[in-house]
């Protein structure tokens, strides 16, 4: 029976391995910490959904049972919908709940699949950066002009700021996906 010789890495190789694993560990920790933002924001979306349901029930009961609807219920519901949608964007991306079509991409090599993912995440990041930027500009403009709906004297700018903030969290998720894909690609290359 042949026993394979024991190969001990040199001191330089040990240090190099430790530095590489330490760098990957830091990136993985950063990736995990970045995910907390979208998770917490999704909880705010749950509260907005619950408030929207309660408002709708009270408005319908008040309208048909007491002939007294809630003034501005439609506007409040539209504000709550904006909170709902933009609070779940980042969380849906972190859970990979957005629709993807990968029939053709599955036929590519793994490295090509990683590159396609990187390209898609980079394009998504670019688009979300533009939406966030224009959203913040629109929110500032709305704050300066004092925009509000006709039936309600509630300013619109906090909800437009929330739109921009939700898109910024989506940017963080795309950045997180880019980092995660690079780490996986790097681990695949080191394992080969």
Residue 187 included in any domain: yes
Q: Which domain holds residue 101?
A: 23-191
Which residue has better confidence, 133 or 149?
A: 133
Domain-located, residue 160:
yes
- Tell me the per-residue pLDDT of 141-175, one tens digit each, with 9 for 90 and over: 999 998 888 778 888 889 999 999 999 999 988 99
pLDDT score of 19 more than 80: no
Q: How far apart are the first and last CA of the chain?
A: 28
Residue 149 lies in a domain: yes
Average pLDDT over residues 24-45: 77
User: Is pLDDT at 92 greater than 90 in this prediction?
Assistant: no
Tokens of 98: 């957005």
**Banded pLDDT at 110 (limits 50, 70, 90):** confident
Instruction: Kindly state whether residue 16 falls inside one of the protein's structural domains.
Output: no
Q: Is 13 part of any domain?
A: no
pLDDT at 25: 57
Number of domains in the chain: 1
Q: Which residue has the tokens 């709906």?
A: 149
Predicted pLDDT of residue 153: 84
* Mean pLDDT, residues 57-66 taken together: 91
Classify residue 17: in a domain, yes or no. Answer: no
């Amino acid at each position: 029976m042949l026993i394979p010789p024991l190969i001990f890495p040199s001191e330089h190789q040990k240090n190099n391995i430790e530095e590489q694993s330490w760098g990957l560990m830091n990136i993985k920790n950063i990736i995990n910490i970045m995910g907390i933002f979208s998770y917490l924001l999704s909880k705010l979306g749950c509260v907005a959904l619950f408030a929207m349901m309660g408002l709708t029930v009270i408005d319908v009961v008040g309208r048909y049972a007491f002939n007294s609807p809630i003034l501005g219920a439609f506007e409040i519901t539209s504000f709550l919908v904006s909170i709902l949608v933009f609070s779940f964007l980042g969380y849906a991306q972190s859970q990979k709940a957005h629709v993807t079509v990968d029939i053709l991409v599955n036929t590519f090599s793994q490295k090509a699949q990683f590159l396609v993912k990187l390209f898609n995440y980079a394009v998504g990041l670019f688009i979300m950066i533009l939406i966030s930027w224009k959203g913040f500009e629109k929110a500032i403009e709305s704050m300066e002009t004092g925009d509000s709906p006709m039936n309600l004297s509630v300013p619109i700018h906090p909800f437009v700021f929330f739109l921009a903030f939700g898109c910024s969290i989506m940017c963080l998720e795309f950045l997180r996906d880019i980092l995660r894909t690079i780490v996986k690609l790097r681990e695949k290359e080191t394992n080969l």
